[in-house]
Amino acid sequence: MIVDPYSSGMYFAPAFREAGVPVVAVLSRPPVEVYASSWHPEDFDEVIRYDEYDGDLAAVAARLKELDPCCVVAGTETGVELADRLAAQTVPERANVPALGPARWHKGEMAKAVARAGLPVVPQICTDDAGDVESWIAREGLTGADLVIKPPRSAGTDGVVRVPGGRGWREAFDAQLGRRNQWGVLNDRMLVMQYVTGTEFVVDTFTHDGRHTVTDVTRYSKIDNGAHMAVYDTMEWLAPNDAVVPELVAYTRGVLDAVGMRFGAAHVEVMLTQDGPRLIELNARPHGGGQPRFCRRATGDSQIDRTVRSLVTARPQDVPEHYALLRHTLVVFLVSRSAGVVSNAEVFDGVQDLPSLFHASVHVANGQHLRMTKDLLATLSLGFVVLSHADREQVWEDCRAIREMEKRLVLQEPGPAA
């Protein structure tokens, strides 16, 4: 059972089918526009829509029990909570700790659970009361410090706002409180946290029987783009013997224990600060954006593959503790530095000639109106390029070539409306 099999969740059905396992889709809601291209109903033996059961969890669980599932997993962020609840009712032997459910889908509860486990976290507060935030800022000695405000239930950089020096935090807080995020979830509270600096990493894992295996560790580079913070720049797969990996993995395994992960994929974002690792957020589902396909290129394995193998193999060694880096692999996210109408999209034709090219998803066309890139969804709508090669320097040389193409892109001011 795959709940919301969109984004990277689209890879579950083909992998299970290849292993001879029938697959059923459960939709928490109709697929939103950004996921429309990754929704393939023809891949499933049955499609169960939660809304057709009027949100009756027990009724949906009863239908799932009739089908005798071997697992219930989330395909993407919108399916995390429903998958978690359904798994507890239908396949408890492959479910996460029910009492810690909110810690797996609500960033405020997540940080509390990690702190209770004795792991360091970024100072933060989650509330619907600006007065509470004001008191917290004073109590934590953060007056005049940079802050970050974001929804506790969203993904990517949706709604993430940096507040330099804390100036205007109340306006940023009030602007999002009571609004719906990119998934249509109401921002009934907001998360306010200290802005910390360091290098951001992702530790992707697959857990079975409470055993946390690592499928890959990647390093993000993010940039400020005008007024927009933390715009994705690049993502590079690290070798398992990289000096930072052991510390990141040890911290991540502690986080997974703290939030009650017992089965399934997790995408854990960690900032390595001068004081050590600090959790940014955990997402109890596969790394999105098609990453499993690129991970197979880099490591020969992925969270999708390990999920399937854990259910069809009797040999524990088929799901290893760690990973190997077979090829240096880098995702280059395209960034629009300004807004305007594209007049020379052909500057990106050279991408096809790059020696390390593995995959190109460039969505730039003449006459298209581009907005300045501000978040991950905007980045993915513009496009990205995956580079992979035995020679790391070749990968980075090709990355620099892509940035030169971006610089040559001409965006013109739109003409007056007819």
Residues counted in the chain: 418
DSSP letter, residue 186: B
**Per-residue confidence (pLDDT) for residue 29, from 0 to 100:** 87
Cα→Cα distances 162→106, 168, 228, Å: 20, 10, 8
DSSP letter, residue 361: E
Residues with Cβ within 8 Å of 372's Cβ and at least 6 positions away in sequence, in order, are 225, 226, 228, 336, 337, 338, 339
Q: Is the dihedral of CA 255, 204, 209, 97 positive or negative?
A: positive
Q: How far apart, in whole angstroms, are the C-alpha atoms of residue 61 and residue 65?
A: 6
Q: Is 368 exposed, middle or buried (0-12, 13-18, 19+ CB in 10 A)?
A: middle
Q: Is the pLDDT of residue 229 over 60?
A: no
The model's confidence at residue 325, banded by pLDDT at 50, 70 and 90, is very high
Predicted confidence (pLDDT) per residue in 162-206, tens digit: 899 999 999 999 998 888 877 677 888 999 999 999 999 999 999
**Per-residue confidence (pLDDT) for residue 413, from 0 to 100:** 78
The model's confidence at residue 4, banded by pLDDT at 50, 70 and 90, is very high
Q: Is the pLDDT of residue 277 over 60?
A: yes
DSSP letter, residue 418: -
Neighbouring C-beta atoms of residue 55, cutoff 10 Å: 11
Predicted confidence (pLDDT) per residue in 378-404, tens digit: 556 688 999 999 999 999 999 999 999
The model's confidence at residue 416, banded by pLDDT at 50, 70 and 90, is low
What is the DSSP annotation of 310-327?
Answer: HHH-S-GGGS-SS----S
Q: How far apart, in whole angstroms, are the C-alpha atoms of residue 144 and residue 205?
A: 37
Mean confidence (pLDDT) of the chain: 92
Cα→Cα distances 31→2, 10, 34, 401, Å: 14, 12, 8, 36
Q: Is the dihedral of CA 215, 87, 34, 338 positive or negative?
A: negative
Region 115-128 average pLDDT = 96
Cα→Cα distances 237→50, 263, 297, Å: 37, 24, 11
**Per-residue confidence (pLDDT) for residue 417, from 0 to 100:** 47
The model's confidence at residue 69, banded by pLDDT at 50, 70 and 90, is very high
Q: Which amino acid is residue 209, in one-letter code?
A: D
**Per-residue confidence (pLDDT) for residue 119, from 0 to 100:** 98
**Per-residue confidence (pLDDT) for residue 418, from 0 to 100:** 38
The model's confidence at residue 318, banded by pLDDT at 50, 70 and 90, is confident
**Per-residue confidence (pLDDT) for residue 186, from 0 to 100:** 83
Q: What is the dihedral of CA 126, 132, 135, 139, to 10 degrees?
A: -30
Predicted confidence (pLDDT) per residue in 204-219, tens digit: 999 999 999 999 999 9
Region 115-121 average pLDDT = 97
Residues with Cβ within 8 Å of 334's Cβ and at least 6 positions away in sequence, in order, are 362, 364, 373, 379, 382, 383, 384, 385, 402, 406
Show the CA angle centred on residue 206, arms to residues 257 and 251, nearest 5°: 40
Region 67-84 average pLDDT = 96
The model's confidence at residue 361, banded by pLDDT at 50, 70 and 90, is very high
Segment holding 111, helix H or strand E: helix 107-116
C-beta of residue 388 within 8 angstroms of C-beta of residue 356: yes
Q: What is the largest CA-CA distance in the chain?
A: 67
Q: How far apart, in whole angstroms, are the C-alpha atoms of residue 4 and residue 28?
A: 6
Segment holding 19, helix H or strand E: none
